Amino acid sequence: MENTDLAPLRAQIDVLNLELLALLNQRIEVARKIRDQKRLLGQPLYDPERELKMIAALVQANPGPFPHAAVAHLFSEIARATVEHLEGTERRSLLVSRKAGEADRSFAVGPHRLGDAPVLIAGPCSVESEEQIFSTARFLASRGVRFLRGGAWKPRTSPYEFQGLGKDGLELLVAAARESGMACVTEVVDPRHLELACNADLLQVGTRNMQNFELLKELGRCGRPVLLKRGMASTLDELLNAAEYIVSHGNPHVALCERGVRTFEKQTRNTFDTSAIALLRQLTPLPVLADVSHAAGRRDILAPLGRAALAAGAQGVMLEVHPHPAIARSDAQQQLDFPAFDAFLTALERPLTTLDARAP
């Protein structure tokens, strides 16, 4: 056949391709309307049973010459691409999602800031006494640390373990931070504690409460900056949607924290997911931090994890420091004493200096 004879046939193919393209785009518009209706009804976007029935009907209606397997494959790919597009659109529409060209967000936390140069957040797992928290704050402040952490309310696996000092612990934490010019960070476990907890500068949501949606809503209304930790078995989408609860209820000042996920590994308390840090930096403009103490559950590898976190893009490293870890009332095995913290700083000196992580 002459090339001139091919031209009309190729022109027909081009027309058919454009018609197929138009139909595919019409199809995705209808699928978007279905998604919106499902959202109102509280139904999941993807319905595999419906997809199987649809493909079976198309195969049955297929007159050829395409084989049935090819038809099933083509429409499976169309369905998959549609779901991926709609999920991606939904993810990009979140208030916490990074829009094209959007810069990192930062915000004030007490006298300091999160989201600019990386910071260190350090302090004991639990506030246990006046001497313990004040000596820790003074030591850390002397090393240039600007954020003091300490638990006043402690969610524990066993109801018989130390649950924290509550209101008294919070007052000690705030007083110790104020004396040393630090911002203080404490965990909130119950909406009923919020009025008291708002005396702290940064309110932490722990791994067990990442999907405590009523707590997240109240944190959105309270106006205090929030540090949201990833759930021990949560996906990044689940973490971002948890942050969305806070932001959509009026509080844009949210930082995310990777603290390791639960796996089959027994050598560490959790498995530290450095890829999560890198991905979150792409997916959201919110500050992203790393809690190396809860990731490791042991003190001997905290420095390497800290360096890895900074290399992956973390804007802060969180760890536990106690004057006498051997007698700590919680998480004794993962807390650093003061000399060990100095060694930790020495190990991180180069990345911290480069990233201006510590106060001058």
User: What is the domain-level CATH number for residue 62?
Assistant: 1.20.59.10
Please indicate, yes or no, whether residues 239 and 265 belong to a single structural domain of this protein.
yes
Torsion sign across C-alpha atoms 309, 311, 314, 317: positive
- Write out pLDDT tens, residues 148-202: 999 999 888 888 888 889 999 999 999 999 999 999 999 999 999 999 999 999 9
Compute the half-sphere exposure of residue 352: CA atoms within 13 Å on the CB side of its CA: 20
β-pair partners for 113: 108
Angle formed at CA 96 by CA 212 and CA 123, multiple of 5 degrees: 60
pLDDT in tens, 267-310: 999 999 999 999 999 999 999 999 999 999 999 999 999 999 99
86 and 28 housed in the same domain: yes
**Rounded to 5 degrees, what are φ and ψ at 202?**
-140, 125
Q: Which domain holds residue 144?
A: 107-355
Q: What is the pLDDT of residues 12-71, one digit of tens each?
A: 999 999 999 999 999 989 988 888 887 777 777 778 888 889 999 999 999 989 899 998
Please tell me the total count of domains within the chain: 2
Domain annotation covers residue 99: no
Looking at the structure, tell me whether residues 160 and 64 fall in a common domain. Answer: no
Do 127 and 88 have their domain in common? no
Is 335 domain-assigned? yes
Per-residue pLDDT at 360 exceeds 50: no
**Listed residue (194, 198, 222, 181) closest to 359, CA to CA:** 181
Let me know whether 122 and 193 are in one domain.
Answer: yes
Nearest CA-CA partner of 287 in 76, 105, 52: 105
Final residue of a structural domain among 58, 92, 126:
92
* pLDDT for the residue numbered 219: 96
Give the integer Cα–Cα distance in Å for 123 and 130: 13
pLDDT of residue 91: 59
Q: Is residue 360 part of a domain?
A: no
For residue 234, the cross-strand partners are none
Q: What is the DSSP letter of 113?
A: E
Instruction: Based on the fold, state whether residues 246 and 132 are members of the same structural domain.
Output: yes
72 and 168 fall within a common domain: no
Share of the chain above pLDDT 70, in %: 95
In terms of Cα–Cα distance, which of 259, 270, 193, 267 is closest to 229? 259
Domain containing 265 — which CATH number? Answer: 3.20.20.70
Q: pLDDT for 98-108, tens place per residue?
A: 988 899 999 99
- Provide the token pair at 31: 């699928």
Domain membership of residue 100 (yes or no) is: no
pLDDT digits (tens, 9 = 90+) for 321-345: 999 999 999 989 999 999 999 999 9
> Given 60, 92, 124, which residue is the final one in a domain?
92
101 occurs within a structural domain? no
Burial class for 201, CB neighbours closer than 10 Å (0-12, 13-18, 19+): buried
Whether 42 is in a domain gets the answer: yes
The answer as to whether 253 is a domain residue is yes
Same domain, 68 and 196: no
pLDDT of residue 358: 47
Is 262 inside a domain boundary? yes
Looking at the structure, do residues 77 and 16 belong to the same domain, yes or no?
A: yes
**Percent of the chain with pLDDT strictly greater than 90:** 73
Residues 203 and 351 in one domain: yes
Q: What size, in residues, is the chain? A: 360
Specify the DSSP element, H or E, that contains 173: helix 167-180
**Quick one: 252 and 143 in the same domain?**
yes
Contacts of 124 (CB under 8 A, 6+ apart): 132, 133, 136, 149, 150, 151, 320, 321, 322, 328, 335
Indicate the pLDDT class of residue 359, thresholds 50, 70 and 90.
very low
Q: Return the structure tokens found at 287.
A: 């500050």
Shared domain for 291 and 235, answered yes or no, is: yes
Strand partners, 205: 228
Model confidence pLDDT, tens digit, residues 120-153: 999 999 999 999 999 999 999 999 999 999 999 9
